[in-house]
Structure 1
């Protein structure tokens, strides 16, 4: 009887190959973890020859970095509900849902434990989070335009405040993470924003002398 891997059907070229290999990489990560991840198994699961993978990615680290970056960038959409509270709630709940799924747990393990020592993974992690902050900035911009937030609210600080209690539970305390966690993060974030604690830092005065 053939395994699921050996029964995989060949896929097409270009974008379809990239998508299939990314999906196979994450599936292998979920099933076996970072330590057992191999280009050969990814290729077999994706239904492509390993040389096809090596033509696009130099090694398993570059493959994993690319797959993680793609997954993190696409997994959490940026909402536009018409109100800052519901926008932030949607973001926080999506973050919780993403990282409590099997794929999300595997991604966290790879990015913060198994492969965390790799410079490529550290750089990808920084890029992914910077990109996510940039893409979510319109949530704050629209809230300022609606008069829900003061004009000098710092989007980066706001989203860091929103995400911090969720990541604390996921990565440090191992406390339960659910929608209640997300909703509490929203309440704390809005309270801090309305208290003026999340404003842009004033520009430093030029040094003269």
Structure 2
């Protein structure tokens, strides 16, 4: 799915080439640095411009607000994420998805960045919207793996693919943000296996269909 079909035109959302693309890349990298190092509260457009060696006027004209800058950063992250893996089985595909999430959430830079954005999303509406867009894009990227499993008759035909994908990452984010338990590959593999077992049992059938299993 192309991002432009999901992302309305806003400051910083245009995808031009040439020098403008280089400026955008430098600014987004600087914004990512600040978020990872200091958190959302310290994100300032003037400081980002300085770090990116870009004129303040350019940054203010293009993004306008910190919230718009974070939204563009999340959109870029979604576009740059590793594409889904197709192994020929639902367990193989979801295990690949879970391990990708696990690697991301245990990378020191990435985990600091995600924690900063998630924390900001609890009180900043614009950031919360951008974060939802980010995860919608990633869920939509992986949902076809579940549809392929439906087509192979591995799981019930009325299974909701998006719910299955969400079920894979939810326990991993719980470990990261709530329990503080070790987030290792074994945890990722268990999350994938549990999602597959649930899908096969009809747990993720669309609303109104679960009782007919």
Please name the residue that 1:207 is paired with: none
Listed one character per residue, the Cα deviations across residues 35-70 of structure 1 (whole Å, up to 9, x for unaligned) are 222212211222211111112101222112211232
Please name the residue that 1:171 is paired with: 177
Structure 2 residues not aligned, in runs of 5+: 1-17
Please name the residue that 1:38 is paired with: 44
Instruction: Number of aligned residue pairs: give it.
Output: 192
1:29–1:106: 8 Å Cα contact kept in structure 2? yes
Q: Which of the numbers 188, 193, 196 marks the counterpart of 1:187?
A: 193
**TM norm structure 1:** 0.84
The 5-angstrom pairing of residues 59-138 of structure 1 reads 59-138=65-144
Listed one character per residue, the Cα deviations across residues 109-163 of structure 1 (whole Å, up to 9, x for unaligned) are 2222245311101111222222222222211121122232221111121112111
More helix by share: 2
Q: How far did 1:77 drift?
A: 2.3
**TM norm structure 2:** 0.83
Alignment root-mean-square deviation, CA: 1.8
Q: How far did 1:30 drift?
A: 1.4
- 2:33 pairs with 1:27: yes
1:84–1:140: 8 Å Cα contact kept in structure 2? yes
- 2:55 pairs with 1:57: no
| Worse-superposed segment, 192-201 or 106-115 | 106-115
Structure with bigger gyration radius: 1
